[in-house]
Amino acid sequence: MMAGFGLLEMLIAVVVLCILVWMLGGKLGGPISDAQAMTARSDIEFFSAALDDFKKDCGAYPSTEQGLQALIVQPPSCTNWKGPYLKEAKIKDDPWDSKYIYTCPGVKTASSFDLCSPGPDKIEGTNDDICNLF
């Protein structure tokens, strides 16, 4: 009898380990992207609430040109601005390091503005976009 593993046993062990790592990798990838999507949705809700406050004070949502920056810096068109409406001095990016896309008036949603993350593929207008469709 030989002590230890033979070449065939070692090969089988490596294949089994590779399959386990592959299966675990697929399981771990899902929750991370789910968490990122939840973060993007949460950010969009947060920005939407700030935009609603802006509208109460200024009478309208910021224009597309003014963008989300109008929540931090008073635009000349709003004399009743009571901001900043966000504590941060800069609009943060989405979980995939892309800029949130703000359009007013909205085209994609029934609300007065569109606010979207381009999603994991970082391309606007694809199926993985996360928008204020709620």
Query: Residue 43 and residue 36: Cα distance in Å, rounded?
Result: 10
Query: Residue 133 and residue 97: Cα distance in Å, rounded?
Result: 21
**Are residues 84 and 76 in contact, defined by beta-carbon separation less than 8 angstroms?**
no
Structure confidence at residue 89 (pLDDT): 84
Write down the pTM of the prediction: 0.73
Please report which helix (H) or strand (E) contains residue 31, including its range.
helix 7-58
Query: Residue 47 and residue 85: Cα distance in Å, rounded?
Result: 9
- The tens digit of pLDDT for each residue in 88-123 reads 888 999 999 999 999 998 887 666 899 999 999 999
Domain 34-131 CATH assignment equals 3.30.700.10: yes
Query: Residue 29 and residue 43: Cα distance in Å, rounded?
Result: 21
- The tens digit of pLDDT for each residue in 16-73 reads 666 666 666 544 445 557 899 999 999 999 999 999 999 999 999 999 999 999 999 9
Structure confidence at residue 103 (pLDDT): 94
